[in-house]
Structure 1
Amino acid sequence: MDYPLLNAFMTMLWFFLWVMWFVLLFRIIGDVFRDDSMSGWGKAGWTIFVCVVPFLGCFVYLIARGRGMGERDRRQMQEQEQAFRSYVQQAAADTPAPTGPSHTDELIRLAGLHDHGDITDAEYEQAKAKVLASH
């Protein structure tokens, strides 16, 4: 099995270039369909051009419309962030605020007072019964 290190390096280089090529191709196709200002015929034309003549299509697309790709990405991310923020604000507004300490919190507080010796056993049992009765 004779496979020199340089050949292994070249194989990996070609593999990574091939992966990068597909990432670029999918990014361009995604950008074509993300652009709301482009008509349906324009989207179909660019898609066909990029799929039929991939190298030339991608390079021409990057030259002709590459500047707006980042702008469209930024705008979409801002819209998604705004939608997320409005959803969180709406969800927070719909959730009722707690009115006070829960029964569990009250029992934990009483146990802490009892453990530190701030209240006697009788006082602890009486307060615990009162909390449990209000539940």
Structure 2
Amino acid sequence: MNSFMDFFWLLVWSFFFVAYLIILFQIITDLFRDKDLSGWWKALWIIGLLVFPFLIALIYLIARGKGMGERHLAAVQSAQAATDQYIKSVAGSGGANAADQIASAKALLDNGTITQAEFDQLKAKALA
């Protein structure tokens, strides 16, 4: 690189190449995420991406872009729901879990392990 402009154009083309790779991986991910598309159509899209990468990527984004966004949104919502469910199970919050906490605290009270004041504290904490 002999000049600043050579370096600048290297940066610009590198940016476009990385952007193209991101789009390409998004398309491939969407192809395998789509349950309505048969395996043969998926194979044809992949072959097309290998033979005419820029043209087929542009056609794919135009023809299937709306569905691509909907499938991505559904995947994100599914992951969010799974994460929320996991957090609730680990954190121990929720209606059925509060009943379990109160029942275990009642068992401790009946065994004499804790006092009535401690039981009331655990009960209030479980209901909060």
- TM-score of the pair, normalised by structure 2: 0.66
SS of the equivalent of 1:63 reads: helix
Shift of residue 48, structure 1, vs aligned partner:
1.3
Q: Percent of aligned pairs with the same residue?
A: 38
Quote the residue 2:32 is aligned against: 33
Deviations 1:72-112 (A, max 9, x none): 1111111111122223334434xx64849xxxxxxxxxxxx
Contiguous gaps of at least 5 residues in structure 1: 101-135
Shift of residue 52, structure 1, vs aligned partner:
2.0
Which of the pair has more CA radius of gyration?
1
Give the letter aligned to residue 75 of structure 2.
Q
Give the letter aligned to residue 13 of structure 1.
V
Give the letter aligned to residue 8 of structure 1.
F
Shift of residue 58, structure 1, vs aligned partner:
0.5
Q: RMSD between aligned alpha carbons?
A: 2.3
- Give the aligned length: 98
Give the letter aligned to residue 76 of structure 1.
A
**Residues in 2 aligned to 1:30 and 1:85: alpha-carbon distance in whole angstroms:** 24
Contiguous gaps of at least 5 residues in structure 2: 109-128
Shift of residue 57, structure 1, vs aligned partner:
1.1
Matches within 5 A, 1:72-111: 72-91=71-90, 92=92, 93=97, 97=101, 99=105
Quote the residue 1:21 is aligned against: 20
Quote the residue 1:12 is aligned against: 11
SS of the equivalent of 2:36 reads: coil
Quote the residue 1:58 is aligned against: 57
Shift of residue 63, structure 1, vs aligned partner:
1.3
